[in-house]
Amino acid sequence: MPLKRNTEGVTTTAHSVMVRAEHPNWAVYSGLVFTMFVWGLAWPVGRLLATNLPPVSIAAIRYAIVVPVLFAILWFREGSFKIERSWIPTLVAIGVLNTTLYQIFFLYGVKYAAASDDSLVIGIGPVLIAVMASFVLKERLTGTKILGFVSGLAGIITISILSPNTQVLNRPLGVTLVFGGATAYALYTVILRRFIAANRANNHGFQQSSLSILSWISLFGWFFLIPFSLLEAPWTYSWDPGSWLGIIYLAILSTVVGYFLYIEGVSKIGAGRSGIFGNLVPVFGVLTSFLLLGENLSPWTAVSFLLILAGVLLVNKSRKSPHSLRPLPEGAVNSSGHVDL
C-alpha cells in the first residue's frame, strides 16, 4: 500500500507539473500569434502611410520613437549603455542593413506595389539567409537549398506577373524593392550571426546582450535615415492624426512590443518552434491588406504563397544543425550566437 500511494503521488505530481507547464506554453503561443499578426498588419499600415507621405521620413520618425524607448528599457534592465568600441564599425554596418536599407526598401516597396503582394515576397527571407550562409559562413550549399531558392523565386515571379492588384504605381518595381529589403535583411542576419559567434567564442571578452545590440544598431541605422529624410522635406507634407497613429503603431507595437514578445517565445519554447510562427506573417499581411485596403485576392496569391512556403520548408529541411539560422526582427540573438526567427 505505501508503495502504491507513493506511485500515485508521483504520478499526480508529474501530471500537475505537466498541466502547469502547458498553460505558460499556450500563453506563449498566443503571444507569438499576436506578434505575427502585428507584423503582418504592418504591411497595410505601411502602405497607408507611404502612399501620401515621404517614405524615408516615415522611417526616420518611426525610429526617433523606437531608439529612445529601447535605450530607456536597456537602462532600466541593465543599468548601462556600455558598448565595446571595437564593435562600433560592425554595428554601424549592421544598422545600415537592418534599419536604414531595410526600412527604405520596405516603405518604397509598399508605395509602389500592393501590401498583400509585398508581404508575400518578404516571406522568402529565410531562403535568402540559408543561401547567403553558404557563401558568407562557408556552410554547404546543398541541392535542397538550391531547390528551395528556386521555389521561392518562382513564388515571387508569380505574384509579380499574375497579381490581381493592378491598380498600383509600379508593381514590378515595388516587388523588386521588397526583395531588395529581404536581401539586405538576410545579409544583416548572416553577418550578425558570424559577428556574435566570433565574439562569444572569446569567453573573456565583454558579452553584449541582444537588447543592447538591438538598441545600438537601431541608433546607428537611424542616423543614416535622417539626412535622406531632410532631402524629402517632410515638413511640406500634411501629417494628420491618422499618420501619427500609424507611425506609433509601427514604432511601438511592430518594433518594440513585437520584439519582446518574440524574445519571450524563444526563451520559453525555443527558437525552432518559435520560428514556425513566422510563416503566419504573410498570411496576416494578405488578410489585413484585403480587409483594410480592399486589395484583391486570386488563386495566384495562394500559388505564390505556397511556392515561397515550399522554399522555406526545403531550406529548413536541409539544415543539420539544431540551431537554425533564421532572421530575428530587429536583431535579437540567442545564447548560442545564432540569429533566430
Global pTM value: 0.85
Q: Is residue 330 scored above 50 in pLDDT? A: no
- Position 24 scores a pLDDT of 56
Q: How many domains does the chain have?
A: 1
- Position 198 scores a pLDDT of 80
Q: Are 174 and 112 in contact (CB under 8 A)?
A: yes
Residue 57 domain-assigned? Answer: yes
Q: Is residue 272 scored above 90 in pLDDT? A: no
Which residue, 189, 322, 331, is CA-closest to 262?
Answer: 331
CA 123, 129, 130: angle at the middle one, nearest 5?
Answer: 110
Q: What is the 3-state secondary structure (H, E, C) of the chain?
A: CHHHHHHHHHHHHHHHHHHHHHHHHHHHHHHHHHHHHHHHHHHHHHHHHHCCCCHHHHHHHHHHHHHHHHHHHHHHHHCCCCCCHHHHHHHHHHHHHHHHHHHHHHHHHHHHCCHHHHHHHHHHHHHHHHHHHHHHCCCCCCHHHHHHHHHHHHHHHHHHHHCCCCCCCCHHHHHHHHHHHHHHHHHHHHHHHHHHHHHHCCCCCCCCCHHHHHHHHHHHHHHHHHHHHHHCCHHHCCCCHHHHHHHHHHHHHHHHHHHHHHHHHHHHHCHHHHHHHHHHHHHHHHHHHHHHHCCCCCHHHHHHHHHHHHHHHHHHHCCCCCCCCCCCCCCCECCCCCECC
Residue 158 domain-assigned? Answer: yes
Residue 336, CA atoms < 13 Å, CB-side half-sphere: 14
Residue 244 domain-assigned? Answer: yes
- Position 324 scores a pLDDT of 40
Backbone angles phi, psi at 28, to 5 degrees: -65, -45
Helices 102-112 and 210-231: crossing angle in degrees, nearest 10, is: 50
Handedness of CA 325, 330, 335, 340 (dihedral sign): negative
Q: Is residue 234 scored above 70 in pLDDT? A: yes
Residue 270 pLDDT grade (very low, low, confident, very high; cuts 50, 70, 90) = confident
- Position 138 scores a pLDDT of 78
- Position 13 scores a pLDDT of 43
Q: Is residue 10 scored above 80 in pLDDT? A: no
Average the pLDDT over 154-159 and give the result: 96
- Position 206 scores a pLDDT of 58
CA 271, 273, 277: angle at the middle one, nearest 5?
Answer: 105
What pLDDT, in 10s, does the model give residues 190-217? 999 888 888 776 655 556 788 999 999 9
Beta strands, E only, the chain:
none
Quote the domain boundaries for residue 114.
Answer: 31-317
Residue 17 domain-assigned? Answer: no
Rounded CA-CA distance 35/8 in Å is 41
Q: Is residue 130 scored above 60 in pLDDT? A: yes
Residue 184 domain-assigned? Answer: yes
Q: Are 332 and 192 in contact (CB under 8 A)?
A: no
- Position 121 scores a pLDDT of 96
- Position 112 scores a pLDDT of 97
Residue 2 domain-assigned? Answer: no
R_g (Cα) of the chain, nearest Å: 21
Which percentage of the chain shows pLDDT scores above 70? 84
What pLDDT, in 10s, does the model give residues 282-310? 999 999 999 999 999 999 999 999 999 99
Residue 328 domain-assigned? Answer: no
